[in-house]
Structure 1
């Protein structure tokens, strides 16, 4: 073990009440809610990277809670009750963000969300789903037909468009930064470049061993490691899933305004400063995207560019400015894993593709458990 100075031992590595592993949205919201509940407790977040490395800073910046076709698919897999619970958590999570921060702090814009449909079949369930969502959104029609948007936005090969006025766009990096500043101001310690290798729980505390051969002790340990949980929590059903994104060069006269969903949410795009940010296409090569490798691949990027040129900007060729990938955490269904693992350990992981919306509620519920 690397020797500590007395100064380090009495500050950075002093015994903690709660250590949170992971400084993405899950870990930061957990720290915020725990510190609100226990203002006098010593809380530290440890993060193995220089910045949060999963999906928190590498997503598309959507403030959304589910499109019609995605909800229908989730009901088929998870049932009505679990699906509605998940939507409710997402919806409430988005409200929590705006309760804690001004919209300008994280570039939030209530643009509305739109789903593009190529067939009529899902519309048969529109009234049914709107009825189910009434107790969540308090709106008789959460999803409203807006077929005039097809011509207004210039889409091709689209039969119907549905609008959801409750959705919007945000800047994930600015939200992470705002959250970081807030928890630090609340006297939460954040230690980057600190990777947990293993831990030993005993009757008095938990000893954490890091990759740089230093140790921390804590009374409670919280895992907010999402897609990177398997090495520390092998018993939890978590599968990493890569989400790829591209960003075009600026497009003069771009008509799009809003956040857009297609094909059960497997494709998603938005206008970002007159550029199209487009992500998804994971369904075109599912098996290759179950990976922890956060780099883009030619087949997925070609699928995205094909969708861009055929549906979003038919007949136009647009230069691509940037490409990137993030790693999400998936499981047998979309339910997050929030539970107490042992006397002293807890986890809030597997937030799927909507961690931005889910993390605030998961952090709040976690604080209620400890």
Structure 2
């Protein structure tokens, strides 16, 4: 590479912390490092023109899990583990709002609802029956009842008669969130290189050699915050999961405001101003959607449009303005991976589709781990 003295001196030499990924986790990690080690030189490496995983491609749900998701988690996690997961999500959202401010991220607390299709009669009945038990389980976190029943006042069709409501759920604008994080990072002197993909690393006793598609770097520490792309750097417990999303053009009469979950969280929709964002459906084709390649498939896009037409907006004409996809990081456990993986190398990945909720906290804990080691 043809670097001048100034470029090399300012950007790529004597790096204390290199962070892979400029999404919500990576930037929060960088800001935490700068807070606790203000004299350090921090470089963030991002393979995309913009953060390429899910930070600016998700639906912007400020949520902690619908009741059916929590019941599903209780099949593979203890009650204590589930409460701790919810607590982390709540704490992460509080941290996000505190760090950036509600106005900066356009936080709106319209509440959240879970819908059930007729075929889910058994699950629907179970969720209603379990409301008191789950409310009691989560009372130490929220100090209030979390879930209650609401009438279908939005005109949804082909769903069970009652909705399960939570007043604690909100929504944000993830574009504004990332803009605010980038502005804060730049103001702290944190360097960010885009279009640089980390291919491999080799850790030694006092430095890490980082191979990218553009150049080779040496850094005292390497922190991996690539979530669904973690497997590319050898973190096998993370599996990529593609999520497809679409958004309508503005509607003349918006029938609702809030966040909504359907089919055990595999579908989700919300208002963005007078538009409706609708995403999900990877359960239609798990094998194809277990990929770290962005893209769209006909089966899922057609399904999303059909559900919009028959269930969510049955009497309201709409047009689709844009469709896209993002890459999440999932695995056998919902708990994120925050650990040292080699000398001077640390990872904070596997956010389990809850990046908005826990990304700030995972970034903070990743930085704390590196500073303590």
Q: Which residue of 1 aligns with 2:53?
A: 54
Q: Work out the CA distance in 2 between the residues paired with 1:289 and 1:344.
A: 33
Q: Which residue of 1 aligns with 2:106?
A: 107
Query: Offset of 1:344 from its aligned partner?
Result: 0.5
Q: Give runs of aligned pairs for residues 1-370 of structure 1, distance below 5 A.
A: 2=1, 4-118=3-117, 119-139=124-144, 141-147=145-151, 150=152, 152-156=153-157, 157-212=159-214, 214-233=215-234, 235-370=235-370
Q: Work out the CA distance in 2 between the residues paired with 1:352 and 1:72.
A: 16
TM-score normalised by length of structure 1: 0.94
1:152-174 CA distance string (max 9 Å, x none): 21111232212211111111111
1:226-270 CA distance string (max 9 Å, x none): 11122212x431111110111112221112111111121111101
Query: Offset of 1:314 from its aligned partner?
Result: 2.2
Query: Offset of 1:315 from its aligned partner?
Result: 4.6
Gapped regions of structure 1 (runs ≥ 5):
none
Query: Offset of 1:81 from its aligned partner?
Result: 2.2
Contact 1:284 1:303 in 2 (8 A): no
Gapped regions of structure 2 (runs ≥ 5):
118-123
Contact 2:205 2:343 in 1 (8 A): no
Q: Work out the CA distance in 1 between the residues paired with 2:79 and 2:161.
A: 27
Q: How many residues are aligned here?
A: 363
Q: Any idea what SS the aligned residue of 1:153 has?
A: coil
Query: Offset of 1:215 from its aligned partner?
Result: 2.3
Q: Work out the CA distance in 1 between the residues paired with 2:70 and 2:168.
A: 15
Query: Offset of 1:339 from its aligned partner?
Result: 0.6
Query: Offset of 1:208 from its aligned partner?
Result: 1.4
Q: Work out the CA distance in 2 between the residues paired with 1:78 and 1:286.
A: 22
1:168-222 CA distance string (max 9 Å, x none): 111111101100111221121111122212222112211212212x222211110
Query: Offset of 1:117 from its aligned partner?
Result: 3.0
Contact 2:242 2:289 in 1 (8 A): yes
Q: Which runs of 4+ in 1 moved over 3 A?
A: none
1:269-298 CA distance string (max 9 Å, x none): 011121111011111221111112211111
Contact 2:24 2:363 in 1 (8 A): no
RMSD across aligned positions (CA): 1.4
